[in-house]
Amino acid sequence: MHAVRTTVSTNACYGFTGSSASKLLLVELAEATIQYGARLLQQAAVWTTERFHGPDPFAAYSAKEKPQSVQFFGTAAAGSVAAASSTHSSAPHSVEVVYGDTDSLFIKMPGKSVAEAMELAHSISRSITDSLPHPVSFAFEKVYHPFLLQQNKKYAGRKFVSAADAGELEVKGMEMVRRDIVPLVRKLQEEVLHLLLMQRDQPAAMAYTKSAITQLLADQYPMSDLVITKALWRGTEAAQYGTKLAHVRLYAHDGVCAGHCSSHSSLQA
């Protein structure tokens, strides 16, 4: 409960002091909050590396940028550990921090089964928590096996929360879960990810993708699969938008409204 209160308080502090519409706007405090949280996360990564014999997660940084200590102080949002297991052989407890974001660490665990990865992740979580000032804590959250990391905040994997789970597909940030993308892309990506991560069938995923491209070029998909619906919330004049997004440009092109524009200024293209 203390950790939950710390998380809520930290998030609220960042939100209230970082929003331009807030009466408590203080950008320096908002930046200090997020930077201190990032510092604790980096220190947790170094702690994990030193205690569990993995490669240096900050090897690409210069000596000046690299954290010099694993001492912890102050408070920050509670964190979590997500483990990505692998079937490749490795040292008994060799791990690698492959990704960290906001309050989470993603740790690669070569040679571990899902059950073994969970056991080790719980051990790492307890070790990190013991090094943090109360009430900040890290807790095991889930295992991904297999795991696909596309880029920052974009990843997918077969998620396990217990060793008895059958596993389910979880996708974060990718086109499949975005609303500003055509339905066809979401549908195709969902099927490809399912073939790759749930069925582990790369040839089938490649064949499905090639078939989808052939059908698209042959006009075999309904137009409804290729429509994006967006709203012009600030008005119908291009000058009202600082960033000229695709649907704003389309609406403003030659002064013509493409597709359908209703009284509340929605646009289909």
- Determine the pLDDT at residue 80: 56
Fold of 2-173: Palm domain of DNA polymerase (3.90.1600)
Kindly indicate the confidence band of residue 189, based on its pLDDT and cuts at 50, 70 and 90.
very high
More confident residue, 68 or 121: 121
Residue 51's pLDDT band, with cuts at 50, 70 and 90, is confident
Say what the pLDDT of residue 5 is: 54
**CA–CA separation, 197 and 71 (whole Å):** 38
What are the sequence ranges of the domains in the chain? 2-173, 177-222, 228-268
Q: Where would I find the beta strands (DSSP E) of the chain?
A: 79-85, 96-101, 104-109, 138-151, 154-160, 168-172, 229-231, 266-268
Mean per-residue pLDDT of the chain:
77
Residue-level pLDDT at 82: 60
- DSSP, collapsed to helix, strand or coil, labels residue 268 as strand
Q: What is the pLDDT of residues 74-120, one digit of tens each?
A: 212 223 556 565 544 344 457 888 888 877 889 988 888 999 999 99
CA distances from 225 to 60, 134, 181, 184, 247 (A): 43, 51, 10, 5, 17
In this predicted structure, what is the pLDDT of residue 156?
93
For residue 2, the model assigns a pLDDT of: 44
Cα dihedral: 29, 31, 37, 43 (round 10):
-120
- The residue among 141 and 61 whose pLDDT is bigger is 141
Whole-number pLDDT of residue 178: 87
Give 176-189 as a 3 state SS string.
HHCCCCCHHHHHHH
- Better pLDDT: 10 or 223: 223
Smallest Cα–Cα separation from 171: which of 183, 159, 182, 161? 159
pLDDT mean over 212-233:
89
Residue 264 has pLDDT above 50, yes or no: no
- The pLDDT, as a whole number, for residue 81 is 55
pLDDT at 115: 92
User: Which pLDDT score is estimated for 91?
Assistant: 42
> Please, which pLDDT band fits residue 64 given cuts at 50, 70 and 90?
very low
- Check residue 253 and give its pLDDT: 65
Q: How far, in Å, CA of 251 to CA of 145, rounded?
A: 44
pLDDT at 133: 76
pLDDT of residue 257: 47
* Confidence at 225, pLDDT banded by 50, 70, 90: very high
Distance CA 161, CA 176 (A): 22
Confidence band for 183, pLDDT divided at 50, 70 and 90: very high
